[in-house]
Amino acid sequence: MELTIDCKTRPEGSKPNGLRRSGQLPAVLYGHKGTESISLMIDAKAAENLIRDASVNNTLVQVNIPEMSWSGKALLREVQTHPWKHTPYHISFFAVADHGDLEVAIPITFVGTAKGVKVSGGSLEPVLASLRVKCNPSHIPESIEVDVSELDAGENLVVSQISLPEGVVAVDDADRVVASVIKGAS
């Protein structure tokens, strides 16, 4: 699913709280021209919808800035929220079109029932919730499925044993434990 957000350049001297009161959310785009950044504003409702459907440092968003005739892919880099209202307060994007491979953390989804759980009465103990990978921005997977069905009691599954999609390379140490099956009480 492609996510798109339309932004406007933030007027010089505008105050973030004033923007929020008018239904806009302050935002910034980094990396579109090297180290240069652009101060933006986004419709608050559109920002809330984007945040609901996207995850930080994992989701590519099509960012459109009609006033500047700029459009491109950006990684949702940071979402700041109000301390007690938990409403979005500020959003940061990082343009990725010309930056080659990115390093991102992808959530791990465990599939199957471990042999050590079925046969030996052990329990599956996930150690990692996400895996750091390097890949082209257009190939960022939403999650990495890890099949644990062959894992027996007392065994560990390590990063090097995970099957990754083409073009995706694990950055985490190859010997790092992803999940273990703890032996059940005898």
Domain 3-95 CATH assignment equals 2.60.120.260: no
pLDDT band at 3 (very low <50, low <70, confident <90, very high): confident
25 forms beta bridges with 42
pLDDT band at 127 (very low <50, low <70, confident <90, very high): very high
Domain 102-182 CATH assignment equals 1.10.3720.10: no
Mean pLDDT over all residues of the chain? 87
Residue range 138-147: mean pLDDT, rounded: 85
Instruction: Catalogue the E-assigned strands of the chain.
Output: 3-6, 8-9, 24-33, 36-43, 60-65, 70-81, 88-95, 102-111, 123-126, 130-135, 144-147, 156-158, 169-170, 177-182
pTM (two decimals): 0.64
Sketch the domain layout of the chain as residue ranges: 3-95, 102-182
Residue range 85-101: mean pLDDT, rounded: 82
